[in-house]
Structure 1
Amino acid sequence: MAEYIPIFMFVTVCLVLLAGYPVAFSLAGTALAFASVGALTGFFDPSFLNALPSRLFGIVTNQTLMAVPLFVFMGCMLEKSRVAEGLLESMTRLFGKMRGGLGLSVTLVGMLLAASTGIVGATVVTMGLLSLPTMLKRGYSTSLATGTICATGSLGQIIPPSIALVLLGDVLSTAYQQAQLKMGIFSPKTVSVGDLFVGAIIPGLMLVAAYSIYLMIVAWRNPEAAPGLSDEDIQAYDEGDHGSLLMNLLPPLLLIGAVLGSILAGAATPTEAAGVGAIGALLLAAVKRQLNIETLSETLSNTTKVTCMVFLILIGASVFSLVFRGFGGEELIHELFTSMPGGTFTAVLVVMLVMFLLGFILDFIEITFVIVPMVGPVLLAMGLDPVWLGIMIAVNLQTSFLTPPFGFALFYLRGVAPPEVRTTDIYKGVVPFVMIQLLLLCALAVWPELATWLPEKLYG
């Protein structure tokens, strides 16, 4: 009976979350309740909780996690400075006459916005408000328009600098150290956020290329679903005061280049690069004359809310994982995975499937802080590459957030879409993009080098 307590604990916290209680308090409250009952019945050693103060101190002094508020600030400031609006108008003038050109413009702008903000919800909402009315007005199929926006908006999960990769990098670094101790290996090698950023570049670009090819194929086979813009539409864009393509494209590209370039060159840590990005976003807002007290106040307020949410969930998850380990949960998972037929392949498949399903009810923050610390050390001890595992988790969760009927990206777009857009149209539109992402997951499983080659090439 005692060996199944970790399973009961995990099922209980899922039920509490489904009941609608706040995530951080659900995790910590469930853990402390089980610890109290376990201590009274002799199934739990209360001395495990002695490690809690040092864990919490380690969270608030973690230099890697300092990148979170800085990247969030950068994304919020860029959202307020109307970068996406100028980019979309310029790209539309460039590709608008092509069949599917407007969809291609939305995809490319979504990629740049994802790389600039790193926040899925912000990208989906921004692109939904800016491009969905235009696409529908120009005759685009409702399902194609909504599917394109949801898919490109979710690129913030995998395109660096992504908040998800920052959090995954920190958690996987700890899991990798624990795995090495399990294997009796004392190697100085670690996995960093920078490794995940570099590892995500090729899969991210592959997704963007696949989305673009799909849009071009649809436009070729069904021109009515993705028509080109008329000369009058293009002329209207040309006559507007939207600035040149170079002036709209260059600032965000320079900002992305400064952030990623400093990391790739080894000139800055991800935290230091996040500081560069935050300052760059401020300068970009000032250049666009969008920097004022109101904008700065809203940006700081949103940054504080998101940062507090992240750290509060992390604290709750730390309490949960500590109690879970005290009940022998880690040993239970290890025995379960090692006894599975098919070995490592089956273990990875089960973990990915569970994470995919949990993505319907939990955000990536909760999954990263709760599930990854449970399964990460066990999987890495089985010989998996930590960079490959991190990219697989990120793409898997991105696919989950896009999958009907519970995908978070679908809810974000539903909240800003016009009333005439049916929910079934959104669901229908994202299905081809979900299939593309599943194909990418299969490609990563067959060829891990897609995620590991570039980090090995750069860092050896």
Structure 2
Amino acid sequence: MTDPQIALVMLGLFIVFVFLGFPIAFTLMAMGIGFGYFAYYDEGRMWRTFDRLDETASYWDSWTTWLEGFANNRIFDLFVNQTYTVMSNEVLTAVPLFLFMGYIVERSNIVDRLFSTLNVASKNVPGSMGVAALITCALFATATGIVGAVVTLMGLLALPQMLKARYDPSFASGIICAGGTLGILIPPSIMLIVYAAASGVSIVRLYAAALLPGLTLVGLYLIYVIGRSILQPSVAPRPTDEEVPDVPARQLIVMILTSFLPLAFLILAVLGSILFGLATPTEAASIGALGGIFLAFIYRAMTWQRMRESVYLTVRTTAMVCWLFVGSYTFSAVFSYLGGEQVISEFVQSLNLSPLMFLILAQIIIFLLGWPLEWSEIIIIFVPIFLPLLAIFEVDPLFFGILVALNLQTSFLTPPMAMSAYYLKGIAPPEVRLTQIFKGVMPFLVCVFISMILMYVFPQIVFYLPELFYGR
């Protein structure tokens, strides 16, 4: 068996182990070290260690020398170096800070105030409660970037009120599931930070490039919600005065000033400082984390228990991402050394694809991978396989990254593995069936595909802001 064939066996075994449910990060590390031991095996190097033994050596000296000889393989040096590379990656430093900001905001009672205010402010808009829920999801998802947290909290907060207001269960569920996934696309997105670390693309340019596509997707969602509410009023009845009371203009302004503006200002301050070059992403994330703590104190929601929970969840999620990077770097280094990337590159080139066909094929593969895998695993493990091919097909890695971010919205919305639907089902009233949730997310899935087509047809939606701020 040749080295490239062994590399393909390595990739196939990894996919099998993933479907069997093994922890992905440690599976990557184990397979990287296991196949790497074979790839980097140097018999002469090992026996040079054994040559130090003589007949007078003690049992303990013999045992330690044999162990040292067995471990005298470059794969262990590679593993240590890759771990240190992840630890010293300045881009990844922003991950725990943005996560901490999100967990603090989640626990500061901002979201319920925000939803109530937007619900009152949009009372005269068709599908007002759905519009309020979608905008709240978008803002909250942007502040946290944690899909499960947004869907769960909004499901507890907004779904019962929408059902009480006689909204169609499928329609209401789809709004919350789709809105909750926006945080992995709209800056400051943790997913884009991970893509930047994996691809070497500037995170600042990625943030600028993702802004208009994210707003485009939100706009498509709002058009669908309002349009369907006009065409089919039964799915989103107009709220009564008892459900959403009228409030004086002065009181509404106070509500907006105390609920909407603080969170919006925090997000804009963090994002603006990055886009205008006033701070690095890590520095901006630090300010965001501090701002989240400040908001929690202002709203009198900060307790020692909530702070401890936020720190624990931040450490746990950050550790997962970093160990995925360590495993992926080790796995991909061995895979490339054995010639696996070269085989894939030659195979794709032999298909004689146009750049457009290559992009479509790559997005279909990522779409299918989104069923069994989380976005972090797709970005860290599989996207690097496509990156060397981008130069061959003259595809900008910036453009590719935004398309992937849009595509990964579908991984949370596509049955039967739509994680947003399962998050919502876990806290929804018993009468809301999983099939109803699946039915509700399908129109929003169409909106995602429309937005991807718009990016293909009008690529300036991606490139306009990066070129405006930073040039070509």
TM-score (normalizing by structure 2) = 0.89
The answer as to 2:92 corresponding to 1:81 is no
Residue in 2 aligned with 1:19? 20
Q: Distance in 1 between matches of 2:41 and 2:257?
A: 68
Question: Per-residue displacement from partner, 1:240-278 (whole Å, max 9, x unpaired)?
Answer: x99612210111011011101101110111111111100
Q: Distance in 2 between matches of 1:456 and 1:48?
A: 42
The answer as to 2:438 corresponding to 1:427 is yes
Q: Structure 1 residue aligned with 2:141, among 106, 114, 139?
A: 114
Q: Is the 8 A contact 1:28 1:319 kept in 2?
A: yes
Residue in 1 aligned with 2:376? 365
Residue in 1 aligned with 2:153? 126
Residue in 2 aligned with 1:56? 83
2:346 is matched by which residue type in structure 1?
A: E
Q: Distance in 1 between matches of 2:349 and 2:193?
A: 29
1:423 is matched by which residue type in structure 2?
A: L
Tell me by how many angstroms 1:116 deviates.
0.9
Residue in 1 aligned with 2:418? 407
In the alignment, structure 2 segments of 5+ residues that lack a partner are 44-71
Q: Is the 8 A contact 1:348 1:379 kept in 2?
A: no
Q: Distance in 2 between matches of 1:359 and 1:245?
A: 38
Q: Distance in 1 between matches of 2:458 and 2:343?
A: 30
Tell me by how many angstroms 1:47 deviates.
4.2
Tell me by how many angstroms 1:98 deviates.
3.3
Residue in 1 aligned with 2:33? 32
Judged with a 3 Å threshold, the aligned counterparts in structure 2 of structure 1 residues 340 and 41 are, in CA distance, closer, same or farther, namely farther
Question: Per-residue displacement from partner, 1:82-135 (whole Å, max 9, x unpaired)?
Answer: 111110000011113433000000111111111111121211111111111111
Question: Per-residue displacement from partner, 1:52-105 (whole Å, max 9, x unpaired)?
Answer: 332221110111100000000000000000111110000011113433000000
Question: Per-residue displacement from partner, 1:224-244 (whole Å, max 9, x unpaired)?
Answer: 101111012222989xx9961
Q: Distance in 2 between matches of 1:8 and 1:348?
A: 26
Tell me by how many angstroms 1:171 deviates.
1.1
1:304 is matched by which residue type in structure 2?
A: V
Residue in 2 aligned with 1:295? 306
1:357 is matched by which residue type in structure 2?
A: L
2:197 is matched by which residue type in structure 1?
A: D
Q: How does 1:381-420 map to 2 (within 5 A)?
A: 381-420=392-431
The answer as to 2:197 corresponding to 1:170 is yes
The answer as to 2:29 corresponding to 1:10 is no
Tell me by how many angstroms 1:49 deviates.
5.6
1:365 is matched by which residue type in structure 2?
A: S
Residue in 2 aligned with 1:187? none
Judged with a 3 Å threshold, the aligned counterparts in structure 2 of structure 1 residues 230 and 356 are, in CA distance, closer, same or farther, namely same
Residue in 2 aligned with 1:180? none
Q: How does 1:251-290 map to 2 (within 5 A)?
A: 251-290=262-301
Tell me by how many angstroms 1:284 deviates.
0.5
- Name the stretch that deviates more: 360-369 or 346-355: 346-355
The answer as to 2:106 corresponding to 1:96 is no
What fraction of aligned residue pairs are identical, expressed as a percent? 38
Q: Is the 8 A contact 1:337 1:343 kept in 2?
A: no
Q: Distance in 2 between matches of 1:421 and 1:406?
A: 18
Equivalent residues, number? 439
Q: Distance in 1 between matches of 2:7 and 2:357?
A: 21
Tell me by how many angstroms 1:155 deviates.
0.4
Q: Is the 8 A contact 1:340 1:346 kept in 2?
A: no
Residue in 2 aligned with 1:226? 236
Q: Is the 8 A contact 1:199 1:455 kept in 2?
A: yes
Tell me by how many angstroms 1:370 deviates.
0.6
- Name the stretch that deviates more: 331-340 or 141-150: 331-340
Q: Structure 1 residue aligned with 2:463, among 422, 428, 452?
A: 452
The answer as to 2:181 corresponding to 1:144 is no
Tell me by how many angstroms 1:299 deviates.
0.8
Q: Is the 8 A contact 2:103 2:310 kept in 1?
A: yes
Judged with a 3 Å threshold, the aligned counterparts in structure 2 of structure 1 residues 383 and 60 are, in CA distance, closer, same or farther, namely same
Describe the SS at the equivalent of 2:245: helix
Judged with a 3 Å threshold, the aligned counterparts in structure 2 of structure 1 residues 194 and 40 are, in CA distance, closer, same or farther, namely closer
Larger radius of gyration: 2
Q: Structure 2 residue aligned with 1:235, among 213, 237, 245?
A: 245
RMSD after superposition: 2.0
Judged with a 3 Å threshold, the aligned counterparts in structure 2 of structure 1 residues 9 and 234 are, in CA distance, closer, same or farther, namely same
The answer as to 2:160 corresponding to 1:159 is no
Describe the SS at the equivalent of 1:244: helix
Residue in 2 aligned with 1:188? none
The answer as to 2:216 corresponding to 1:195 is no
Q: Is the 8 A contact 1:98 1:229 kept in 2?
A: no
Tell me by how many angstroms 1:381 deviates.
4.3
Tell me by how many angstroms 1:378 deviates.
2.0
Q: Distance in 2 between matches of 1:409 and 1:375?
A: 27
Q: Distance in 1 between matches of 2:78 and 2:356?
A: 34
Question: Per-residue displacement from partner, 1:6-25 (whole Å, max 9, x unpaired)?
Answer: 22222211111111111111
Q: Structure 1 residue aligned with 2:221, among 191, 197, 211?
A: 211
Tell me by how many angstroms 1:40 deviates.
6.9
In the alignment, structure 1 segments of 5+ residues that lack a partner are 174-190
The answer as to 2:306 corresponding to 1:305 is no
